[in-house]
Homo-oligomer: A and B are copies of this chain.
Amino acid sequence: MSGTLVIAGLGPGSDALVTPEVSAALAEATDVVGYIPYVARVPDRAGLRRHASDNRVELDRSRHALAMAAEGRRVVVVSSGDPGVFAMASAVFEALEAGPEGWRGIEIRVLPGITAMLAAAAAAGAPLGHDFCAINLSDNLKPWALIEKRLRLAVEGDFAMGFYNPRSKARPEGFTRVLDVLRETCEPERLMIFARAVSTPDQALRITALKDAAPEMADMRTVVLVGSSLTRLIAREGQAPLVYTPRSAPEGRSE
């Protein structure tokens, strides 16, 4: 008898951002599978087996989850944020497609979560309030040339942008190049937001103009948002400033 596989998004960190749908799936699970810090967010209880694995073993983890579901278990793969945004859902489907035919009979559901980019945007105001792009800056799985191409096209289209995985210890130079491209193509006052560990006790939000942005403002726990040419800052006495992108683009402005 085939079990079930749920791929669930835990949101960016705070339990107050976990949807009731995800909480219900976790309450019914026999097995929880995921990267160590995400599995640690699921409370232990009788009848629940927790399978925590290290980073960068997404396909192994996916095969393990699928194999357990095929044996009849109720498996939940946990992701941070939304599982469909630079997270576990695609890895599970890659493993499913390459795996035994029998795995295709497993009942699979993806449960959306609050993705870091949108939690960061909310914390700053509404910087993605108009058309926007999400770009993963890690070149682990794609060539750098493609990242830069997408970045230039997004700027040309005057999209607001959200960058995931902006800067790893192993390859800090990538984000430096991203800032160089932005400086070459955008005005110096373009608004940026560095949002670290959003919704956790470590949350740190930094709003800056592009001309004052520095590579060190980002690390792997940071999501970086870049406004469009129309993004504005509202200064407020005694309250944090708000960054937002208006709903309208005037005739001709971005042509």
List, in ascending order, chain B residues with CB within 8 A of A118's CB.
82, 84-85, 112, 115
Give A residues with C-beta under 8 Å from B: 11, 14-21, 24, 58, 82-86, 89-91, 93-94, 96-97, 104-108, 110-115, 118-119, 121-123, 125-136, 141-143, 145-146, 149-150, 153-154, 156-159, 232, 234-239, 242, 244-249, 251-252, 254-255
Are A238 and B105 in contact, CB atoms less than 8 angstroms apart? yes
Q: A133-B133, A141-B247 are in contact. Are A104 and B237 (CB under 8 A)?
A: yes
Are A146 and B254 in contact, CB atoms less than 8 angstroms apart? yes
Are A112 and B119 in contact, CB atoms less than 8 angstroms apart? yes
List, in ascending order, chain B residues with CB within 8 A of A20's CB.
15-18, 20
Question: What would 5 more interface pairs be, CB under 8 Å, given A20-B20, A84-B128, A90-B247?
Answer: A89-B126, A93-B126, A105-B239, A128-B134, A149-B255
Are A93 and B242 in contact, CB atoms less than 8 angstroms apart? yes
Are B17 and A19 in contact, CB atoms less than 8 angstroms apart? yes
- Complexed CA–CA distance, A185 and B97 (Å): 28
List, in ascending order, chain B residues with CB within 8 A of A158's CB.
146, 150
- Complexed CA–CA distance, A234 and B130 (Å): 33
List, in ascending order, chain B residues with CB within 8 A of A236's CB.
104-105
Find A19's partner among B18, B24, B254 (CB 8 Å cutoff).
Answer: B18
Q: A84-B121, A255-B146 are in contact. Are A245 and B90 (CB under 8 A)?
A: yes
